[in-house]
Structure 1
Amino acid sequence: MAQDARIRRALISVTDKTGVVDFARELVEAHGVEIVSTGGTARVLIEAGIPVVPIEEFTGFPEMMDGRVKTLHPKVHGGLLARRDLPAHMEQVREHEIGLIDLVAVNLYEFERTVADPTTSFADAIEHIDIGGPSMLRSAAKNADAVTVVVDPADYTRVLAEMAKYAGATQLATRRQLQAKVYARTAAYDAAIASYLAEQLEQADASAATTASCCTGIGTEHAACSVDSASASAAVAAPAADSSLDAAAWAAAPAAELTLSLTMQQELRYGENPHQTAAFYRLPGASAHSLASAHQIQGKELSYNNLLDTDAAWALVREFNEPACVVLKHQNPCGSAVAPDITTAYDRAFACDPKSAFGGIIACNREVPLELVEHFADVNKQFVEVLIAPSYTPEALERLKRRQNLRVLATGGVDTPTEMEFRSVDGGMLVQTVDRVDEDVANFSVPTKRQPTDSELADLLFAWRVCKGVKSNAILIAKDQAGVGMGPGQPNRVDSALLACTRAEDTCERMGVEASGFVCASDAFFPFRDNVDVLAEHDVTAIIQPGGSKRDDECIAACDEHGIAMVFTGVRHFRH
């Protein structure tokens, strides 16, 4: 196995032509390399005065079928795959007059960028699936013992520097690194194509099916899907979203193999702690208004922890059709509220826990006006790490400039999250569909003697949505459409309940309102009646929870003793 591999002939065929003219010129002028090229790349090089052998002259076969077939030829792949150390291979090279190719510089049709444009037709997307490019890259990479392969223009300088140092040759260690880079790129490329095709199938199935739900997008107002205190038939909306995978198909039969295509959005200063390296990557099927699609208008670079918290806050406000605001700190919503307008929603969310709101994230599901900015910046003097919303008024943006370090993100709209989520564990990956369920209040049950009142039901539905965003064991105490007390992440549910109630009472005392008339949401069932007893001691009048405990009867009896109404949803919402 030769350490050095002299480059005498190069095949160059690139979509991204950054630096290609300078690269080809130095190959020719400094090292006497013969350049074989195709189509548009050949034209660019010829116009720059660089001598080129057109691909059809090299293969003796014309490009055909609108360019679909031009490099898929034995003289190309034989020139790449022939092992220089095997006499039989070299004999066949001579017999068939195959010219050896020592370097391939190829980057692929821009499929990902093409399908990111919502106006792209399916037919146009298919035409942007590169066939010859990946084939050449894979052939060249397989034979990295002898062939240098470049898939990234950023590597041109590196290859030229090595050729200058080693008399027109590259080193095996370099070729091995470039080899690995090729297969990472082709894997990501194929994954992007597979994701797009799965999404198209899912959309076709959805359009062919009869739509049973009226609510097709969070943020869209539908009377039948709004929380209506006068109606017990309101739906907790959970509409479908675009997905990087066919989530329904995967849920029915999880794939034996799963390839993720991740594109770096940005390198981060560090991870959760300064000694950890971190970066932010985008999935190809990220929804149009996801965190990965958001535009940063101003502020410092986003940190790893900023992104985690912003993601949690943005996911939570997307649960609501009505104007909603969440103030989130360390993955938990310390403030949450809905209101007729977004500024009032912010005011009520901030009032839930002003102390914890310091250094938190603000997420809004409506355009942010100047008034809201003035309230958090001037009235409350709240220090905020990130503000995320669909959009901002010009006046709001002008006022935000006075806080240059504040990270301001605009999503351009509100939609539902990508349908699949991933979490790494040591040596592996956990994959699941996101926690989103169409929950119709008409299918909830009330096992207690007392039914919830209309106002209690409205608060229960609000609390049930917010509780999904609280770390389990999660208890959320709500009053008048605001989350006034939160008990997150305690090892037992009684402690979570006690913590949430204590915080709710503190909130009411601070706001000068009566500490009663609370409702409670629990992300999972109560294992014992002691949870109910604690809640009753703190003036909770209604509870919403999944049900399903072996001791449900004891909890129901406890509610009846205390005059509490309890709703069973039949669905658990753990968030670890």
Structure 2
Amino acid sequence: MADLIRPERALISVSDKTGLEELGRALSRRGVELVSTGGTAKALRAAGLEVRDVSELTGFPEMMDGRVKTLHPMVHGGLLALRDDAGHTASMEEHGIAPIDILVVNLYPFEATVAKGADWDTCIENIDIGGPAMLRAAAKNHAHVAVVTDPEDYGALLEELDGQDGATSFAFRRNLAQITYARTASYDAAVSTWMAGAMKIEAPRRRAFAGTLAQTMRYGENPHQSAAFYTDGSERPGVATAKQLQGKELSYNNINDTDAAFELVSEFAGQGPACAIIKHANPCGVAGGATLADAYSRAFDCDRTSAFGGIVALNRPLDAETAAAIAEIFTEVVIAPGADDAAREIFATKKNLRLLITDGLADPAAAATTVRQVSGGYLVQDRDAHHLDPAGLTVATKRAPSEAEMADLIFAWTVAKHVKSNAIVYARDGATVGVGAGQMSRVDSTRIAARKAEDMAEALGLSEPPTRGSVVASDAFFPFPDGLLAAAEAGATAVIQPGGSMRDKDVIAAADEAGLAMVLTGVRHFRH
């Protein structure tokens, strides 16, 4: 097998015409014959380049509205033939098959068509058949053929030809083959996923996932772990689609935590100013306020210690007053729908602070799939997009919540949805005042949240812990009265929880005895 192959012929067939003219001119200058199809050939000729139609190569015209044009032995023989195999070369000579040394193909824009919400027939028409067939053939025969499927690799191909005196090396061709197989795999994954969704198949027999590399990271959760970040092509506002205005590159943990923060604050879209401060994917403070700066201050006062080095998410464009307050302590990332010039100037002095702009909030009710790898497989589920309907709440106790308590209960429940289970959230006046997360015992989460509130009361010089007169949300039912009673001891006056425990009667009786109001949602929010 020869390492260096000097190309004589290139077949080019692309739907994305980006860089096509420049590529065609560069190959033509190097003496490479251009063979092309339909619109690609027309575009190359419009640029003044000499092009041979693929129909001339095959002896058959393009037919069936272009569905059949490259599925022919003259094409696939030219791509698959082993140039150093006597039998293959004899067959090429016998049938007049010319070798194709470079294949440049990108596929019909199926993913973009689906993203536009096209109907079934339109999506089907945008499934490429000949393109993937040629790409796979050329990639298999990378010992002799260079295959390019991404316009971003055109420059690399031309640099390789320049660096190898008009040839391509085996190592280069093999690298292109791997890129190509990843592209055809992601394309097929997009088609199969779309079809399953359109046909409402909740658990297809086989499931494929695909992504495009966005960032190779210095390390993963810990320095001894390698990591990379891939995007799935979704246009949903969030960390994957945000524009980073300043600061060093995001780390693995930054991305994970920023996603958690933005998903939480997006729950308050259409409401007043709101802020969520996240540490290790758990909220350490969430609040609404009269202004964005007020919301940040109230969220910060829930747990100032944990907020240090945290992630701040805002549901409104960042302003100067809020930026100045955030800049007073070390903050890893700020993510918001926008930022005014004055806020950007303030952050510009904080070189290590990352500022991300999303141009919108995420729709928390949008359908989506979450994937988690386990040993030997994947767990796939719908995103928890449940939105609480106050009309569906059941008052379980003798006393019903007051209007103010009900507002805080709904707020606390919204936050608890984003806290790792077992989750306990105390809230008062539209702000969290204590958060207990990720404990093995719900009682422990209840007590930890109360203790953190006591610590903040001391730090802020308050006469009593802010849990006095608060409400409390539990992401799952209280299996025993002990957790509820611990919340009452901390000063909570009302409770929101799913209900459904075998001991609900005992829990309700304990709430009545303690004078608590309690409502049941009938829905839990486990978050692991």
TM-score (norm 1): 0.79
**Aligned partner of residue 382 in structure 1, secondary structure:** coil
Identity, in percent, stands at 50
Residue 190 of structure 1 is aligned with which of 159, 163, 188? 188
Alignment-derived partner of residue 247 in structure 2: 299
Alignment-derived partner of residue 370 in structure 1: 320
Contact 1:10 1:105 in 2 (8 A): no
- TM-superposed CA distance for 1:41, in Å, is 5.7
Whole-angstrom distance in 2 between the partners of 1:122 and 1:139: 29
1:403 equivalent in alignment to 2:401? no
Contact 1:247 1:433 in 2 (8 A): no
Contact 2:28 2:34 in 1 (8 A): no
**Aligned partner of residue 284 in structure 2, secondary structure:** strand
Contact 1:476 1:500 in 2 (8 A): yes
Amino acid in structure 2 at the alignment position of 1:107? N
- TM-superposed CA distance for 1:127, in Å, is 7.2
Contact 2:401 2:518 in 1 (8 A): yes
Residue 264 of structure 2 is aligned with which of 297, 310, 316? 316
1:450 equivalent in alignment to 2:399? yes
Alignment-derived partner of residue 79 in structure 1: 78
1:557 equivalent in alignment to 2:509? yes
Alignment-derived partner of residue 517 in structure 1: 469
**Aligned partner of residue 187 in structure 2, secondary structure:** helix
Moved more, 306-315 or 295-304: 295-304
Whole-angstrom distance in 2 between the partners of 1:148 and 1:373: 51
Q: Map 1:40-51; keep pairs closer than 5 Å.
A: none
Contact 1:548 1:570 in 2 (8 A): yes
**Aligned partner of residue 293 in structure 1, secondary structure:** coil
Amino acid in structure 1 at the alignment position of 2:307? A
**Aligned partner of residue 267 in structure 2, secondary structure:** coil
- TM-superposed CA distance for 1:459, in Å, is 0.9
Alignment-derived partner of residue 55 in structure 1: 54
Alignment-derived partner of residue 222 in structure 2: 273
Residue 256 of structure 1 is aligned with which of 198, 201, 205? 205
**Aligned partner of residue 449 in structure 1, secondary structure:** coil
Alignment-derived partner of residue 17 in structure 1: 19
Deviation digits for residues 490-513 of structure 1 (CA, Å, limit 9, x no counterpart) = 121111111111122333442526
Gaps of 5+ in 2: none
Alignment-derived partner of residue 134 in structure 2: 136
Q: Map 1:216-365; keep pairs closer than 5 Å.
A: 246=197, 249=200, 253-287=202-236, 289-320=237-268, 321-322=270-271, 323-365=273-315
Moved more, 559-568 or 39-48: 39-48
Deviation digits for residues 292-346 of structure 1 (CA, Å, limit 9, x no counterpart) = 1111122221111111111111010111242211111111111111123322211
Contact 1:192 1:284 in 2 (8 A): no
- TM-superposed CA distance for 1:397, in Å, is 2.2
Whole-angstrom distance in 1 between the partners of 2:396 and 2:49: 82
Whole-angstrom distance in 1 between the partners of 2:453 and 2:199: 39
Amino acid in structure 2 at the alignment position of 1:156? L
Decide whether aligned partners of structure 1 residues 131 and 247 sit closer, same or farther in structure 2, where only a CA change above 3 A counts: closer
**Aligned partner of residue 334 in structure 2, secondary structure:** strand
Decide whether aligned partners of structure 1 residues 565 and 113 sit closer, same or farther in structure 2, where only a CA change above 3 A counts: same
Amino acid in structure 2 at the alignment position of 1:341? T
Two-structure CA RMSD over aligned residues (Å) = 3.4
Contact 2:495 2:518 in 1 (8 A): yes
Amino acid in structure 1 at the alignment position of 2:502? K
Whole-angstrom distance in 1 between the partners of 2:235 and 2:376: 25
Whole-angstrom distance in 2 between the partners of 1:120 and 1:440: 32
Contact 1:390 1:412 in 2 (8 A): yes
Decide whether aligned partners of structure 1 residues 284 and 573 sit closer, same or farther in structure 2, where only a CA change above 3 A counts: same
Amino acid in structure 2 at the alignment position of 1:56? S
Moved more, 311-320 or 275-284: 275-284
Decide whether aligned partners of structure 1 residues 160 and 512 sit closer, same or farther in structure 2, where only a CA change above 3 A counts: same
Amino acid in structure 2 at the alignment position of 1:421? T
Alignment-derived partner of residue 535 in structure 1: 487
Whole-angstrom distance in 2 between the partners of 1:487 and 1:3: 65
Alignment-derived partner of residue 480 in structure 1: 429
Whole-angstrom distance in 1 between the partners of 2:143 and 2:159: 18
Contact 1:468 1:573 in 2 (8 A): yes
Amino acid in structure 2 at the alignment position of 1:461? I
- TM-superposed CA distance for 1:552, in Å, is 1.5
Deviation digits for residues 390-429 of structure 1 (CA, Å, limit 9, x no counterpart) = 1122322232222232211111011315611122233432
**Aligned partner of residue 313 in structure 1, secondary structure:** helix
Alignment-derived partner of residue 416 in structure 1: 363
Contact 2:161 2:168 in 1 (8 A): no
Gaps of 5+ in 1: 199-244
Contact 1:446 1:567 in 2 (8 A): yes
Moved more, 44-53 or 552-561: 44-53
Amino acid in structure 2 at the alignment position of 1:389? A
Amino acid in structure 1 at the alignment position of 2:415? V
Contact 1:541 1:563 in 2 (8 A): yes
Contact 2:304 2:456 in 1 (8 A): no
Decide whether aligned partners of structure 1 residues 169 and 388 sit closer, same or farther in structure 2, where only a CA change above 3 A counts: closer
Contact 2:337 2:358 in 1 (8 A): yes
Decide whether aligned partners of structure 1 residues 528 and 121 sit closer, same or farther in structure 2, where only a CA change above 3 A counts: closer
Amino acid in structure 2 at the alignment position of 1:17? G
Whole-angstrom distance in 1 between the partners of 2:511 and 2:139: 69
Whole-angstrom distance in 1 between the partners of 2:205 and 2:160: 38
Whole-angstrom distance in 2 between the partners of 1:78 and 1:562: 83
Whole-angstrom distance in 2 between the partners of 1:177 and 1:394: 44
Whole-angstrom distance in 1 between the partners of 2:289 and 2:380: 35
**Aligned partner of residue 543 in structure 1, secondary structure:** strand
Alignment-derived partner of residue 224 in structure 1: none
Whole-angstrom distance in 1 between the partners of 2:9 and 2:332: 51
Whole-angstrom distance in 1 between the partners of 2:473 and 2:429: 14
Decide whether aligned partners of structure 1 residues 122 and 27 sit closer, same or farther in structure 2, where only a CA change above 3 A counts: farther
Deviation digits for residues 177-229 of structure 1 (CA, Å, limit 9, x no counterpart) = 5433322111223334556x56xxxxxxxxxxxxxxxxxxxxxxxxxxxxxxx
Aligned length: 514
- TM-superposed CA distance for 1:447, in Å, is 1.9
Decide whether aligned partners of structure 1 residues 110 and 20 sit closer, same or farther in structure 2, where only a CA change above 3 A counts: farther
Decide whether aligned partners of structure 1 residues 448 and 80 sit closer, same or farther in structure 2, where only a CA change above 3 A counts: same
**Aligned partner of residue 527 in structure 1, secondary structure:** coil
Decide whether aligned partners of structure 1 residues 355 and 371 sit closer, same or farther in structure 2, where only a CA change above 3 A counts: same
- TM-superposed CA distance for 1:55, in Å, is 2.6
